[in-house]
Amino acid sequence: MDLRDRQVDSLIEESLYISTNLAPQQKQDAWKRLRARAGQQSLLPPAAACDRPLSLLERVFGNNGFLQAWLARLAVDEARYERARQNQYSLRYGVLITSAGFPNRLVEPFRYHFMTPVF
Amino acid sequence: MVSFQEVEPSDAALIERVRTNDLEALGALFDRYYAHVFRAAVAITQDGAVAEDIAQDCFLKVHRYANRIDTSLPLAPWLYRVTVNLSYTWISRQKRRRVSLEMVVDRLISPAWLSPDHIAEHTEIQEQVRAAIADLNFNQRVVIVLHYLSGLNLEEIAEILDCPVGTVKSRLYYARENLRGRLGLLNGTNEVAHGFAG
């Protein structure tokens, strides 16, 4: 014999409510403990701007974002640079990106900067 | 006409005061929400002592993180989320420790945190329902507790658990089916549930 939905619902509600009873004395004791512990701890300052999650735009274009990291890697990673340089024309003609070669020209001065020996 | 009825301060106003380390304001929030948090924690963890610790930690977080709580949003979902997370952490640790079967059975059959009055009210059926709820997996149990004990709707639960409403709906459905199965089985074999059949 199946229990009807309403009966199951009320049975669950009653059971949960009764089995989680809280005595007034329990609550008072809990407050005393909480008050003592809260008095000993300090509040955290408001969250700084850096604590909030970054937006997609910030992740891509922001400081240390994806684009900056990619350009930096392109500038210092020889193999990556060579691969990009060799493929720039195929990209230009193979795909409808006419300015596909620009990152290499753009990166060239940075390569000099990054690769200059520091004494 | 002037109303002389005292207006209770809003949660946001109380949190603003907690930010100035006003413990009376924390006390007002405690009065307002402690029972809800404690009850949810007991129902999820099935352990009164642990639930007390979880409720304590939850309100300590209200105090500690007062400056970071968004007062434009209601406080209750934030409290429930912390409660669920703390309960989950405790249950995960318990699983790792592999609590002995005797302890679990003992906890289910004779909960030590119940007052004598409470034990008197505790009927056998309710005990069976409670045991059936305790047997649900964590996700289903949390949804059952938040829905039936805390009276939250599907959207509110979805927000607290940070999951789609459809997921909450599905968990609630399967949890109820599981409970219905357990109680239906009892109904056929045990006269305790007979009164609920008709």
Q: Which residues of A touch B121 (CB under 8 A)?
A: 18
Report the distance separating Cα B42 and Cα B88, nearest Å. Answer: 12
ipTM of predicted complex: 0.75
Phi and psi angles of residue B70, each rounded to the nearest 5 degrees, phi first = -80, 105
Architecture of the domain made up of B123-193 = Orthogonal Bundle (1.10)
The span from the CA of A8 to the CA of A16, in Å, is 12
Chain B interface mutation, best of A34, A35, A40, A50, highest count of B Cβ atoms under 10 Å:
A34
pLDDT tens digits, one per residue of A35-46 = 999 999 999 998
Chain B residues close to A34, C-beta within 8 Å: 26, 30, 56, 59-60
Beta carbons of B18 and B62 less than 8 angstroms apart: yes
Chain B CB within 8 Å of residue A119 CB: no
Q: What is the pLDDT of residues B129-182, one digit of tens each?
A: 889 999 999 999 999 999 999 999 999 999 999 999 999 999 999 999 999 888
For residue B178, give the H/E element and its range. Answer: helix B165-189
User: Which H or E element spans position A18?
Assistant: helix A5-19
Cα separation, B160 vs B164, in Å, equals 10
Rounded-to-integer distance, Cα B89 and Cα A48, Å: 27
**CB–CB of A19 and B43 under 8 A?**
yes
How crowded is the C-beta side of A91, counted as CA atoms within 13 Å? 14
The domain locations on chain A are 57-115
Nearest CA-CA distance, residue B198 and chain A, Å: 9
Half-sphere exposure of A19 (CA within 13 A, CB side): 34
What residues have CB less than 8 Å from B186, skipping those under 6 apart? B128, B192, B193
Residue among B30, B16, B87 nearest A35 (CA) = B30
Question: Please, what's the largest Cα pairwise distance for chain A?
Answer: 88
**Mean model confidence pLDDT for chain B:** 83
pLDDT category, A107, cuts 50, 70, 90? low
B45 and B134 Cβ atoms separated by less than 8 Å: no
CB count in 10 Å sphere of residue A118 = 3
Give yes or no for a contact between B114 and A21, defined as CB atoms under 8 angstroms apart: yes
Q: Give the amino acid at A46.
A: P
Out of B23, B67, B184, name the one closest to residue A39 (CB): B23
The amino acid occupying position B154 is: L
A64 φ/ψ sector (left φ>0, alpha ψ -120 to 50, else beta): left
Which carries the bigger pLDDT value, residue B12 or residue A119? Answer: B12
Pick the CATH number of B11-115 from 3.40.47.10, 3.90.1150.10, 1.25.40.10, 1.10.1740.10: 1.10.1740.10
Q: A43 and B60: CB-CB below 8 Å? A: no
Of B42, B63, B193, the CB nearest to A43: B63
Query: Would the CATH topology of B11-115 be identical to that of B123-193?
Result: no
- CA-nearest of B151, B170, B178 to B76 is B151
Of B34, B43, B180, the CB nearest to A20: B43
Task: Answer whether B80's CB lies under 8 Å from B40's CB.
Answer: yes
Chain segment A11-57, per-residue pLDDT in tens: 899 899 888 889 999 999 999 999 999 999 999 998 765 556 777 77
Q: Is the pLDDT of residue A82 over 60?
A: yes
Instruction: Locate A57 and state its tokens.
Output: 């735009």
pLDDT tens per residue, chain B (198 residues)? 445 556 889 999 999 999 999 999 999 999 999 999 999 999 999 999 999 999 999 999 999 999 999 999 999 999 999 999 999 999 988 876 655 545 544 555 455 445 555 555 557 788 888 899 999 999 999 999 999 999 999 999 999 999 999 999 999 999 999 998 888 755 544 433 333 333
| Residue B187, C-beta contacts closer than 8 angstroms, at least 6 positions apart | A1, A2, A3, B193, B194, B196, B197
Q: How far apart are CA B141 and CA B134, in angstroms?
A: 7
Nearest-Cα distance to chain A for B108, in Å, is: 11
